[in-house]
C-alpha cells in the first residue's frame, strides 16, 4: 500500500485533518499519579495494545476533582486513542462498548482522535492501524525521544467510501475477519498454558514411575511366585548370569517377594555397530532399516517403527542386526539413557545397545524402569567430553524385579498413564509446530486485511 488509489465511489483527501473533528491529549496532576490509588482511570501509552485493545492491569488514576476540571483528554465511547511519543508512537486502540470505564481520561502521551461527519469512527481507526497510515506516522515522528504533534494530520492522505452504508459494510467485514484472527491468537495462548500443564504431567508421571517401582502401586496383590523363584526359572531357561550392582545408582527399599538384581541377570546386552566409512554405497542405501540414536530419540513413543535410512546386506554384516520386539537403550551422547522397543527388524549403530531375550511383560516393565532412570544414567559420565554407557555399565544397572503378577499390574497402570500423557504431548506438539512463524503470519495477515480494506478488496 505504497500509495492510495481511489476506488469508484470513494473519496481521497490530502489531509487526514479534513475528517478529524477533535485531536487532543490529556494531562496529569503536577507531581504525577504514582501515589494516587483511586479516582478516575488515566490511560497512557502502556495501556494500549498493538491489537487495538487495552491492557488495564496496572491502570493509574487522577483525582475525581482534577478530572472534573479537565477541559480536554476525557475519553468517550468510539474514541480513537493514539500514542503520541516514545518508542511506541502510533500504537492505536479503539474505545468500544467493552471498554470497562464510564469515565476515563488520557495522559499527556496519548492523543484522542474523533472524526467529523464524513467518516465513521471505527473505519478511521482501522485506517490509522493500516501499514500506509503507520508509515506516515513514522515519517512524521520528530525529536530526540520521537513523537508526533497536532500537525501530524496535515499532508496525510486518506481514502474512504463516501456512502456511510458502504463504510459500515467494510467495518463489519473487518470486524469478522479480525475476530477470527484474534480467536486463533487466543488458541495459541491457551496452547502455551497447556504446554505448562504437559510439563507438570511429565513430572507426575515420574512420580508414578517411582511409586510403581517401589511397590506402592501393587499393594497387597497376591503372587504365586516370588521374584527370586521367577529369576531362578529365568536363569535356568536362558543360562544368563549377573554381575554386582552398580553402586552409583541408589537402591531403595522394595516389598517382600521382590528382588534387587542386575540387568545382565535377565538379558544379554549387546552393543550396536556402525559400518565405516559412513555413507559408503557398499554399506548404505539398501533395504535393511538402520536404527540410529536419532531414530530412537526423535519422539516419546514407546515403539520404534522405522529407522534413519537403510543398509545393504554388506552393511548388515558390519552392524548389529536385531529382531522385532527388542528393547534398545541409547548409550552415548547427550541423549543417552533413552529406551525404545522395536516393532521391525533392522540394524542398530554404535550409539545404542540391545537387551535381548526378554519376554513381553518384563520387557515393558524394564522399559518403564529405564525411562525412570534416564536422568541418573546421564550423570554417570558427567564431565566426559562424550558421555557413554558401555555394555559393562548397562549390564550392572540394578533393577527391582517383582513377581510376574506385579509386573503385569504395574505395566497396565503405567501404560494407561503414559498413553494419556503421550496423546496430550503429541497434540500440543502438532499445534505448536512453527508457533512463532504462525504468530508472525497471523500478525502479517491482520495488517494485510487492513490494507486490503482501503483498496476495496473486502467489499
**pLDDT score at 299:** 87
Question: 79 pLDDT exceeds 90?
Answer: yes
> What confidence tier does 381 reach under pLDDT thresholds 50, 70, 90?
low
Beta strands in 210-345, from DSSP E residues, in sequence order: 259-262, 268-271, 284-291, 303-304, 310-311, 320-322, 327-330, 339-342
Q: Where exactly are the structural domains of the chain? A: 10-162, 225-402
d(CA 372, CA 339): 10
Residue 71 confidence (pLDDT): 96
d(CA 352, CA 366): 16
Length, in residues, of the chain: 459
* Residue-level pLDDT at 245: 46
In angstroms, the CA 262 to CA 272 distance is 21
pLDDT at 247 over 50: no
Cell of 242: 549377573
Give the SS3 label for residue 323. coil
For the chain, the C-alpha Rg in angstroms (whole number) is: 34
pLDDT band at 198 (very low <50, low <70, confident <90, very high): low
Choose among 456, 451, 450: nearest CA to 174: 450
Cell output for 302: 514407546
User: Percentage of residues in the chain with pLDDT exceeding 70?
Assistant: 83
**Cβ-based burial of 186 (10 A; exposed 0-12, middle 13-18, buried ≥19):** exposed
**243 pLDDT band (50/70/90 cuts)?**
very low
| pLDDT exceeds cutoff 60 at 240 | no
pLDDT at 332: 86
- The fourth-level CATH superfamily of domain 10-162 is DNA methylase specificity domains (3.90.220.20)
Poorest-confidence range of 247-261, 293-307, 407-421?
247-261
Q: Of 167-181, 290-304, 308-322, 327-341, give the lowest mean pLDDT range.
A: 167-181
Q: Are 212 and 414 in contact (CB under 8 A)?
A: yes
Residue carrying C-alpha cell 503421550: 422
**Res 246: pLDDT:** 42
Average pLDDT, stretch 365-386?
82
**Would you say residue 370 has pLDDT above 50?**
yes
Q: How confident is the model at residue 187 (pLDDT cuts 50, 70, 90)?
A: confident
| In the predicted structure, residue 192 carries a pLDDT above the cut 90 | no
Average pLDDT over residues 232-260: 69
Report the C-alpha gap between 158 and 167 in whole angstroms: 14
- The residue among 142 and 30 whose pLDDT is bigger is 30
Which phi and psi angles does 457 have, rounded to 5°? Answer: -80, -20
Tell me, what's the pLDDT at 203? 75
The reported pLDDT for the residue numbered 248 is 43
Q: 503520541: which residue's cell?
A: 84
pLDDT at 344: 96
Closest of 265, 278, 219, 269 to residue 238, by C-alpha: 265
Tell whether the model's pLDDT for residue 459 goes beyond 60. no
320/176: higher pLDDT: 320
Minimal CA–CA distance to 349: which of 289, 263, 287, 286?
Answer: 289
pLDDT at 233 over 90: no
- What pLDDT, on the 0 to 100 scale, is given for residue 156? 95
Q: Average pLDDT in the 356-370 region? A: 95
Q: How confident is the model at residue 378 (pLDDT cuts 50, 70, 90)?
A: confident
In which band, very low, low, confident or very high, does the pLDDT at 1 lie, cut at 50, 70 and 90? very low
Mean pLDDT of 196-202: 61
What fold characterizes domain 225-402?
A: Adenine-n6-DNA-methyltransferase TaqI; Chain A, domain 2 (3.90.220)
The chain-wide mean pLDDT, for the chain, equals 86
Please check whether the two domains, 10-162 and 225-402, share a CATH topology. yes
Amino acid at each position: 500500500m505504497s500509495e492510495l488509489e481511489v476506488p469508484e465511489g470513494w473519496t481521497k483527501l490530502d489531509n487526514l485533518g479534513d475528517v478529524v473533528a477533535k485531536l487532543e491529549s490529556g494531562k496529569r496532576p503536577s507531581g504525577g499519579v504514582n501515589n494516587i490509588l483511586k479516582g478516575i482511570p488515566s490511560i497512557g501509552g502502556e495501556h494500549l495494545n498493538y491489537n487495538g485493545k487495552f491492557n488495564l492491569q496496572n491502570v493509574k488514576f487522577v483525582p475525581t476533582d482534577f478530572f472534573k476540571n479537565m477541559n480536554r483528554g476525557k475519553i468517550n465511547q468510539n474514541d480513537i486513542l493514539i500514542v503520541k511519543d516514545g518508542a511506541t508512537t502510533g500504537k492505536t486502540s479503539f474505545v468500544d462498548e467493552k471498554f470497562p470505564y464510564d469515565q476515563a481520561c488520557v495522559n499527556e502521551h496519548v492523543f484522542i482522535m474523533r472524526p467529523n461527519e464524513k467518516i465513521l469512527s471505527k473505519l478511521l481507526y482501522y485506517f490509522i492501524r493500516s501499514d500506509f497510515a503507520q508509515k506516515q506516522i513514522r515519517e512524521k515522528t520528530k525529536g530526540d525521544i520521537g513523537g508526533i504533534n497536532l500537525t501530524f494530520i496535515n499532508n496525510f492522505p486518506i481514502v474512504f467510501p463516501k456512502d456511510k452504508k458502504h463504510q459500515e459494510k467494510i467495518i463489519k467485514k473487518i470486524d469478522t475477519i479480525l475476530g477470527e484472527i484474534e480467536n486463533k491468537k487466543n488458541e495459541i495462548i491457551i496452547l502455551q498454558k497447556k504446554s505448562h500443564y504437559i510439563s507438570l504431567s511429565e513430572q507426575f508421571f515420574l512420580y508414578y514411575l517411582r511409586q510403581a517401582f517401589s511397590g506402592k502401586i501393587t499393594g497387597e496383590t497376591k503372587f504365586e511366585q516370588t521374584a527370586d523363584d521367577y529369576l531362578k526359572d529365568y536363569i535356568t531357561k536362558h543360562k544368563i548370569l549377573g554381575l554386582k550392582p552398580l553402586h552409583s545408582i541408589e537402591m531403595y527399599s522394595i516389598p517382600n517377594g521382590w528382588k534387587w538384581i542386575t540387568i545382565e541377570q535377565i538379558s544379554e546386552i549387546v552393543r550396536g555397530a556402525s559400518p565405516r566409512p559412513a555413507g559408503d554405497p557398499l554399506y548404505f542405501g539398501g533395504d535393511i532399516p538402520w536404527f540410529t540414536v536419532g531414530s530412537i530419540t526423535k519422539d516419546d513413543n514407546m515403539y520404534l517403527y522405522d529407522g534413519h535410512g537403510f543398509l545393504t546386506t554388506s552393511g548388515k554384516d558390519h552392524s548389529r542386526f536385531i529382531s522385532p520386539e527388542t528393547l534398545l537403550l541409547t548409550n552415548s551422547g547427550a541423549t543417552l539413557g533413552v529406551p525404545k522397543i522395536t516393532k521391525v527388524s533392522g540394524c542398530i549403530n554404535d550409539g545404542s545397545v540391545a537387551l535381548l531375550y526378554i519376554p513381553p511383560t518384563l520387557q515393558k516393565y524394564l522399559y518403564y524402569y529405564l525411562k525412570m532412570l534416564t536422568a541418573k544414567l546421564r550423570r554417570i559420565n558427567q564431565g566426559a567430553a562424550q558421555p557413554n554407557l558401555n555394555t559393562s555399565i548397562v549390564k550392572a544397572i540394578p533393577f527391582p524385579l517383582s513377581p510376574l503378577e506385579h509386573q503385569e499390574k504395574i505395566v497396565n497402570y503405567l501404560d494407561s498413564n503414559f498413553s494419556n500423557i503421550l496423546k496430550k504431548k503429541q497434540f500440543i506438539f502438532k499445534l505448536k509446530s512453527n508457533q512463532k512463524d504462525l504468530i508472525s503470519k497471523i500478525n502479517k495477515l491482520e495488517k494485510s486485511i487492513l490494507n486490503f480494506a482501503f483498496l476495496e478488496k473486502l467489499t
